Amino acid sequence: MNKTSSFASIARTVGATGGEFRFGDVLVRDKLITRQQLDDALTAQRASEKHIPLQQVLVDQKVLTVKQVEEALASWNDRPPLGELLLRHGVITRSQLAQALEQQKKVPAPLGQTLINLGYLSDVNFRKALSVQLGIPYVDLDNITLEAGLCRIINRNYARRHSLVPVTSIDGSLTLCMDDPPTARPWTNSVAPWAS
């Protein structure tokens, strides 16, 4: 089994089809936006030269407020556990998951780190799985060019302490790449509207 191509495949599938992790579908399901508003926002998102998170597009279009987005993200609990996600997509076996869970009883650590330590999961595949689980893009900083001026926006010590890098700024919105998004507050820390 080629685990790298397996995860690249699910990331493309989830991104292309809307999949089970798509925030926009949750907003429509919960009647916070209409299907047409979602389609319009996705069209605007695709038309942008740089990636703009869907929630930012919806705020920019005045479809939702920042508060509504934060509340929707806070209540969005349709994310499967990491182990289930990795099993479902054939990245690990049931036996490997069981061994990792037993290891966690002896040496408490997050499941992803335990799977990496046991050699069942690469760091890259862990990050890709996490991005699918959280419904956020996976960005390999080695493969993108950062805008030099963005480094002056965030204090260097703050960026180091929180393991984040500013990636782009569009229409007053700063998009950050983070090493460990689950430890940050969703959206407000990872994508924040900046006052003009």
Average pLDDT score, the chain: 77
Angle between helix 3-17 and helix 123-134 axes, rounded to 10 deg: 20
Structure confidence by residue, pLDDT tens digits, 52-66: 888 888 989 999 988
Structure confidence by residue, pLDDT tens digits, 147-166: 778 878 888 888 888 888 88
Domain boundaries, the chain: 22-77+139-193
Q: Which residues sit opposite 173 in a β-bridge?
A: 170, 193
User: Against a cut of 0.75, is the pTM above it?
Assistant: no
pLDDT of res. 119:
96
Strands of the chain, DSSP E = 164-170, 173-178, 191-193
Strands 191-193 and 164-170: unpaired
